[in-house]
Structure 1
Amino acid sequence: MKCFNHTHKEALGICKNCSKGICEDCLTEVKNGIACTSSCIDEVNQINLLINKNKENLNFASKNHQKAAFIYLGFGLVFIVFGITTEGLTWFLTTIGFIFIIGAIFSFTNAKKLKK
């Protein structure tokens, strides 16, 4: 691949922002990547910041799935207990309870996947 600005030189890398091939004269090293111009340097820094925030949010999302799973489990158990002890709506309430418990299982599973 040739440099975008110097077509006679081989590119040493690709700008993390605009994906242009850049040679040794054009590149600027930035943390976790390289950039070709000053505007791309700012964008690469923003991309790196976004990636770091996403890593932090992934752990936060896992905790939210765990909390939701406990809430679903609680609602499921309440509906099942009311379904068993109440006459007339037994099938409806226990069915809703089991649906909440299935939701809790899915939330626990998603929380484990997000932790990895």
Structure 2
Amino acid sequence: MRIGELSDATGVSVRLLRYYEEQDLLVPERTPGGQRVYGSDAVAVVRRIRALLGAGLPTRVIAEVLDCVCGSEAEIEPCLSPLLVARLDAIDGQIQDLQGTRSSLAALVAATEGRQLATADRA
């Protein structure tokens, strides 16, 4: 199938499909005229890429592990498990950091609002 057909089948723009190719995530064959031609598995590959991107993996990591994904976009081989666990741990750490930051900011906002109320009461 050609790139436009792959775009239609996956809902992914032609520009993004070209980006996936630049990142070595998607490898088309070329016609003698230089046009991209994708194999029958290309739709599944694009869906896997989208699922991995949706899980927060950067394209450089996806390029390394894409061969470990099989079947539907939700099926993975055991070789991916440590990577996914590490990514999940990193996200949990970011959430904790953000919760701490949010608490600090909320305290500052509360203190500021308290000062504004006290000033308004004096007026």
**TM-score tier after normalising by the smaller chain length:** 0.3 to 0.5
Going by fraction, where is helix more abundant, 1 or 2? Answer: 2
For the pair shown, which has the larger CA radius of gyration, 1 or 2?
A: 1
Going by fraction, where is strand more abundant, 1 or 2? Answer: 1
Give the TM-score normalised by structure 1. Answer: 0.38
